[in-house]
Amino acid sequence: IVFDCGFEDTMGMQELRSLTRQLLKAHYYNRELDDPFFFSFCNIEPDSNIWALLQKFHSNQTGQTFDGYSQLPYHFSPRNFTDIFPREDLVMLSPDAKQSMYEVRSDKVYIIGAITDKASSKPLTMSKAKRLGIPCMKLPLHLLKWKGPRKDLGLDVVLQILQMVNEGSAWEDALNHCLPQR
């Protein structure tokens, strides 16, 4: 899984704080798994706000520095994912994609946008995928019989859905579990 941290400029400090909480939630969830995902944080600069907030929130919560990557297979880079992974393996996940995904493949690198933009949701990841010429897919939310969830989910929720499907759950079950009906 790639978290594309290259959208920092599109967010204010409040959104960046909320984003960091979601990234840490994804990390805390992943580190409990028997078979954790490989996380790659791309387009992240050591002097970025996201990096500073990750350090701060993690140490506030645990009293430790954010060094999950020393125990887990994590990777941090200021480079773009197209410079790191084979282009043919890349799949951008976007709520604005035309195509729905129906499988989680272990030979693919799924890119999740490190974005929280509840107030003004722009198709940032879809535009980036088009610009880079890589496939772009959305989660099959239409499989849910109930209507209600926003189409743009938090990245921690997206990660949990991918993990459940990867472990063999049906999409409907994973979606219903992660997006409880109110």
Ligand X SMILES: C[S@@+](CC[C@H](N)C(=O)[O-])C[C@H]1O[C@@H](n2cnc3c(N)ncnc32)[C@H](O)[C@@H]1O
Point out which residues bind ligand X (CB under 6 A).
Answer: 93-95, 112-113, 115-117, 121-125, 138-139, 141, 151-155, 158
Cβ neighbours around 2 below 10 Å, total: 26
Distance in Å, CB of 37 to ligand X, minimum: 14
Q: Specify the residue, 2 or 70, whose C-beta has the smaller distance to ligand X.
A: 2
Q: Are 118 and 163 in contact (CB under 8 A)?
A: no
At 93, list the tokens: 């996940």
Distance in Å, CB of 63 to ligand X, minimum: 29
Q: Specify the residue, 98 or 182, whose C-beta has the smaller distance to ligand X.
A: 98
Distance in Å, CB of 23 to ligand X, minimum: 11
Nearest residue relative to ligand X (C-beta)? 113
Q: Specify the residue, 59 or 99, whose C-beta has the smaller distance to ligand X.
A: 99
Q: DSSP assignment of 15-61, as one string?
A: HHHHHHHHHHHHHHHHHTSSSPPPEEEES--TTSHHHHHHHHHHHHH
Distance in Å, CB of 79 to ligand X, minimum: 19
Phi/psi region, residue 71 (left: phi>0; alpha: psi -120 to 50; beta: rest), is alpha
Q: Specify the residue, 64 or 147, whose C-beta has the smaller distance to ligand X.
A: 147
> What's the half-sphere exposure (Cβ side, CA atoms, 13 Å) at 114?
28
